Amino acid sequence: MQIQLEDQMVTLHVQYAKRKKLSVTVDGSDLITVKAPKGTSEETILGAVASIGPKILEQLRRNAAARKVPEAKRYDGEEVYLYLGREYALHELITVQERNADELKLALKKFYMSSLKKIIAERITRYQTQLRVKPKSIEIVESRTKWGSCSFDGKLTFNYRLAMAPPEVIDYVIIHELCHLLHMNHDRSFWRRLGSVMPDYKEKEAYLARQGQFMTL
């Protein structure tokens, strides 16, 4: 089954089953699955999909962005660099005179690490008080896979690349790791506690999923 959403023709994978409600999902491979009650008409399915067309197209755009491979930085003075969610020329962040590309990259990394350390120290106090927890230590690290982590003995680490994210996204990662001091697993209690402090946390997760690959040196 196919449907036109704005200027894009998309294919629907329809599954009929004994169920009361119709649902639509889009996975990372752009597969759009419609699960519908037995006997649901094509008109009803197409109408339901059309009603959430903008959401479907947005997910497809996110998928496309996630598959895009970011270009390697050249450190030649013509590029922009992310800091707290905004774009800056390199010379606005670090001293660029008499430095080659490798030296500029190292200096920028040090800038991000020192900046994030200060940002975390300033912003974590509020949430520690709200959650009534206190980490044993806080460290800024380099990681390819995690934005933050919490050890069983209460030590928190944060990926230096978070300095490239908007402050509210940094707050999300802070709250996420602080909540692990209360709930080590991602169970319902964990998400309820996190949501009680930041109700729109899913938007912050989506930002990291969408933009994280571009937050690189």
**Helix (H), strand (E), coil (C) string for 42-85:** HHHHHHHHHHCHHHHHHHHHHHHHHHCCCCCCCCCCCCEEEECC
Which tens digits make up the pLDDT trace of 90-140?
999 999 999 999 999 999 999 999 999 999 999 999 999 999 999 999 999
Last residue of a domain, one of 67, 96, 123: 67
Which tens digits make up the pLDDT trace of 46-72?
999 999 999 999 989 888 876 676 777
Distance CA 106, CA 129 (A): 35
- The total domain count for the chain is 2
Distance CA 140, CA 156 (A): 9
Same domain as 119, residue 63: no
pLDDT score, position 69: 67
Which runs of consecutive H residues, i.e. helices, occur in the chain?
Answer: 42-51, 53-67, 101-131, 167-179, 188-197, 201-211
55 in a structural domain: yes
Last residue of a domain, one of 67, 92, 124: 67
Which tens digits make up the pLDDT trace of 144-197?
889 999 999 999 999 999 999 999 999 999 999 999 999 999 999 999 999 999
Same domain as 207, residue 132: yes
90 in a structural domain: no
Q: What is the CATH number of the domain that holds 207?
A: 3.30.2010.10
80 in a structural domain: no
Q: What is the pTM of this model?
A: 0.70
pLDDT score, position 214: 86
Same domain as 61, residue 126: no
pLDDT score, position 211: 86
Please report, in angstroms and rounded to a whole number, the separation of the first and last CA atoms in the chain: 43
Same domain as 210, residue 120: yes
81 in a structural domain: no
Residue 17 CB coordination number (10 Å): 8
97 in a structural domain: no
Strands 155-159 and 148-150, by their bridges, are antiparallel
Last residue of a domain, one of 67, 84, 103: 67
pLDDT score, position 126: 95
Burial class from Cβ neighbours inside 10 Å (0-12, 13-18, 19+) for residue 27 reads exposed
105 in a structural domain: no
Residue 47, domain extent: 2-67
pLDDT score, position 63: 80
Same domain as 124, residue 61: no
